[in-house]
Chain A
Amino acid sequence: MVNESPDNILETIKLYTYYPIRSGNPFGKRRSVRAVDDVSIKVPRGKTLAVVGESGCGKTTLARTLLLLTPSTTGDVIFNGVNILKTKMNPKKLYREMQMVFQDPDSSLDPRVKIKDSIAEPLRLLEGMNKEKVADRVAELLTAVGLSAEHGDRLPAHLSGGQKQRVAIARAIAPQPKLVILDEPTSALDASVQAQILTLLIDLQRKFNLTYILITHNIAVAEYLSDIMAVMYAGNLVEYGPTNEIISKPRHPYTITLISSAPIPNPWKRNLLGIEIKGEVPSAINPPSGCKFHPRCPYAEKTCTDLNPSLDNISANHYVACHFVEKTA
């Protein structure tokens, strides 16, 4: 996989992130959580990739691995042409180009620090700006996310959830990154506030030519915001392709289950009541053998218990990891 297309701002190649579990017994068998288990994705510049999945699927660990917050086990991550896992680099260089908006607006801001100082932090450290420049830029950023200068003087406790999330976004775009990872940016917000934040995100993407990696379990939001989708299950990438294709015709049995479980705001189309879903998400420490979805899959056969399927290209840019994908055509 040497020729990476210049259109891809980021590419992961066979990325694995396992982390050991601290058990009380120092002599016991070493066990690991297989959080990211062989994930290879490409993120085109200027587009939005949604990484969807449920709890324990590894999407948050994937995001943290890309930002070097969690050490990877093996694999490569090529960002802007540079292999950031294998090249020795000053992390500051990376963070000038890649940033993150964290999941919970309540815990992503230091409760003792004023808003304007929270936003100023990356400006001082990553951009090395002096005081006046910082003040100007903070004012610019506050306006860009729809807040006023007065908000900058407050503490996080005096802001609403939506306002805090705007601050988190302002801080993330402060060093003018090319790639922003959004970890469940609206999951903790009300519907009307979510709509405001989503609109803001689209606005900012157009204005500043940003690339987004959106981590979410909300299919509706993923469908709305993203161009490409990657579906993860228990650490594995099971389906990957254009969003509209995956939503309208999901091919992996898990994706089918996932898409059909998403509640549609339409009382005449009650998809939820018709589905039959077996079982629950497997343990990340002791996953099922072979294909991790096989105990719950209506199409499973003997091969599925023995062999973990790799990604097959089923149509232009659309990949599915399933031994019997023809069954869902």
Chain B
Amino acid sequence: MSDQPILSIKDLTISYETKSGVVLAVDRTNLDIGQNTFIAVVGESGCGKSTLALSIIGLLSMPPAKINSGIMEYKSVNLLTLDPNQRRGYRGTEIAMIFQEPLTSLNPVYRVGDQIAEAVMVREMRKGSNSAPSTETDVMQKVYSTKATYLPSRIPKQRRGLTKLLRNEIIQALKLVRIADAEQVIERYPFELSGGMRQRIMIAMALAEKPALLIADEPTTALDVTTQAQVLKLMKELMNEVRTSILLITHDLAVASQVADRIIVMYAGDVVEDANVYDLFSEPLHPYSKGLLACIPSGSKDKTTLNPIPGTVPDLRHPPTGCKFASRCPHVMKICHEKPPPLIENKSNHRVACFLYGE
């Protein structure tokens, strides 16, 4: 495992234009993702984690979102400088993503097998031509053997033919995500399957191209507890089998502690702490991280007390000068209101953005 990170984000700032003002969603974020590691970005709603994820995969709607600054280096290419066509080439092939609600991620009018076939097809095609990743138009033309870029009447017939052709590969993809009766599942429509099953199919499609990075945005939040456990376990196992890195976006610190190698804590658009999972739990540095850990209920109310963090998240349309957590911090100092703390390396591989640990 080489030391070079596969994705390196420096100084990324993203803002949204809304009816009521400009929202600073991500504020000068720095983050590195290594090879074959499991990183969890943990934070509450509005902390910018989903925006960050969408910007990595390139699915941010560019108005209203705007990337104000920053570099996103993937295998020595700055993704932010690419034009939309080039960017699309990386999506699904090098960097893949799965979302929270599997029902809306799968097309309800096509059978599941047909949808996986599309993903598998792209992979098979790329094997043939080892040039740069194909654009969407190329794929459509090759797959559907049509000169036009979109012919709705011909697609269903072509799709079924495609599924027959790639049957073996499709079944292999489903077996990879531990779906036992793959033969039947191929013929089903998404609404006939359970949430857990649909999420596995999403993972199968995302991993079809063996991407170097899989981003998962709250993939288990909508699932039952037992299904969540199954899916998380699957993701961890696949990470090693497919040799990919996983970036898990979640609000659940407990889930993150179970699967991640590294945890990045975000608050109101800033990365406040970035550490190895064991270091974060044994020695949390940032007051917000400490607060978050103290919020997790464990044990009965008679034996333990929950210490909620007082106050609320600041309005990101009018962010405060200085540290965004200052108004809620038990250790706040004068300097905290004056300027924002930089992210510094406090110990080996443990970074924190807090004036308590120096400037």
Contacts and interface: CB of A to CB of B under 8 A. Distances in A.
B224 A265 contact: no
A261 B228 contact: yes
Contacts of A270: 258-259
A258 B308 contact: no
A160 B311 CA distance: 12
A148 to B, nearest CB: 13
B197 A280 contact: yes
B314 to A, nearest CB: 12
Interface bin, chain B: 35 or more
A264 B236 contact: no
Contacts of B255: 263
Contact of A261 (B226, B278, B295, B299): B226
A280 B308 CA distance: 35
B225 A273 contact: no
Interface in A267-298: 267-268, 270-273, 275, 277, 280-281
A191 B295 contact: yes
Contacts of B115: none
Nearest to A200: B308
A98 B350 CA distance: 51
Interface string B213-236: 000000000001111111011001
A262 interface: yes
A275 to B, nearest CB: 6
A270 to B, nearest CB: 5
A272 B232 contact: yes
B44 A263 contact: no
B22 interface: no
A190 interface: yes
Interface stretch (B122-130, B131-139, B246-254): B246-254
Given A272-B232, A273-B236, A217 B44 contact: no
A265 to B, nearest CB: 4
B306 A224 contact: yes
A104 to B, nearest CB: 13
A185 to B, nearest CB: 13
A192 B295 contact: yes
B297 A198 contact: yes
Contacts of A272: 229, 232-233, 258-259
Nearest to A192: B309
B312 interface: yes
B251 A190 contact: yes
Interface in B233-247: 233, 236
B301 A225 contact: yes
B258 A267 contact: yes
Interface in B66-92: none
Contacts of A67: none
A196 B312 CA distance: 11
Nearest to A222: B297
B298 interface: yes
A190 B197 contact: no
A308 interface: no
B257 A273 contact: no
B105 interface: no
Interface bin, chain A: 35 or more
Contacts of B229: 260-261, 263, 272, 275, 277
Contacts of A219: 225
B296 interface: yes
B277 A55 contact: no
B258 A264 contact: yes
B225 A266 contact: no
A271 B258 CA distance: 8
B296 A54 contact: no
Contacts of A162: 312
Given A191-B251, A192-B291, A277-B229, A265 B257 contact: yes
Contacts of A198: 297, 306
Contact of B254 (A160, A220, A224, A281): A220
Contact of A263 (B236, B257, B299, B301): B257
B232 to A, nearest CB: 6
Contact of A195 (B260, B309, B312): B309
A313 to B, nearest CB: 23
A263 to B, nearest CB: 4
B45 interface: yes
Given A217-B224, A220-B297, A280-B197, A265 B278 contact: no
A219 B254 CA distance: 12
Nearest to A187: B221
A272 B194 CA distance: 21
Given A191-B44, A261-B228, A265-B293, A220 B298 contact: yes
A239 B114 CA distance: 43
Given A192-B292, A193-B308, 14 more contacts: A161-B45, A190-B45, A191-B253, A192-B291, A193-B44, A195-B294, A195-B307, A198-B297, A198-B306, A199-B308, A224-B297, A266-B257, A277-B229, A280-B197
8 cross-chain pairs, A with B, having the tightest CB-CB distances, nearest first: A224-B297, A195-B308, A190-B44, A261-B229, A54-B224, A195-B295, A265-B254, A263-B254
Interface of A: 54-55, 160-162, 190-196, 198-199, 202, 217-221, 223-225, 243-244, 257-258, 260-268, 270-273, 275, 277, 280-281
